[in-house]
Amino acid sequence: MKKILIVDDQLQIRELVEITLRVADYRILQAKSGEEAVEIVKAEKPDLTIMDIMMPGKIDGLEATRILKSDSETKDCTIIMLTAKGQETDREKGFEAGADDYFTKPFSPLDLIRKVEEILG
């Protein structure tokens, strides 16, 4: 069973993404901070991480992505940014950090499902 980690400080967003992805048989993990995301990715090796950018704490989604993509154990993890930061410069920062794709909130559940299925096959 494929594992997906949903990272967002807002419980409602994590639950919405989880419900959206229930159409397929995925094991869903959740994290509410960048720090927690890094720990879970290193321990669980999810097939996909869906990462918010703006989160409280020392590590936001961009920094968590940089950390994961620069670590030899986690550099091949797939990360989709899912964030309210929709400016072109925000997208560029996401890709520079190592994101594999970028979605802005509010997001289309169908588009997210399509992207997840495309990535996970």
Q: Give the pLDDT confidence of 26-48 residue by residue, as tens digits.
A: 999 999 999 999 999 999 999 99
Q: Is the peptide bond before 106 cis (omega within 30 degrees of 0)?
A: yes
Count of C-beta atoms within a 10 Å radius of residue 107: 18
**101 in a domain, yes or no?**
yes
User: CATH number for the domain including 33?
Assistant: 3.40.50.2300
pTM: 0.95
pLDDT at 40: 98
**120 in a domain, yes or no?**
no
Expressed as residue numbers, the domain containing 44 is 2-115
**121 in a domain, yes or no?**
no
Sheet containing 48-51: give its strands across.
26-31, 2-7, 48-51, 79-83, 101-104
Task: Name the pLDDT band for 121 (thresholds 50, 70, 90).
Answer: confident
**67 in a domain, yes or no?**
yes
pLDDT (tens digit per residue) in 71-97: 999 999 999 999 999 899 999 999 999
Beta carbons of 4 and 116 less than 8 angstroms apart: yes
**28 in a domain, yes or no?**
yes
Domain count, the chain: 1
Q: Rounded to whole angstroms, how far apart are CA atoms 31 and 17?
A: 12
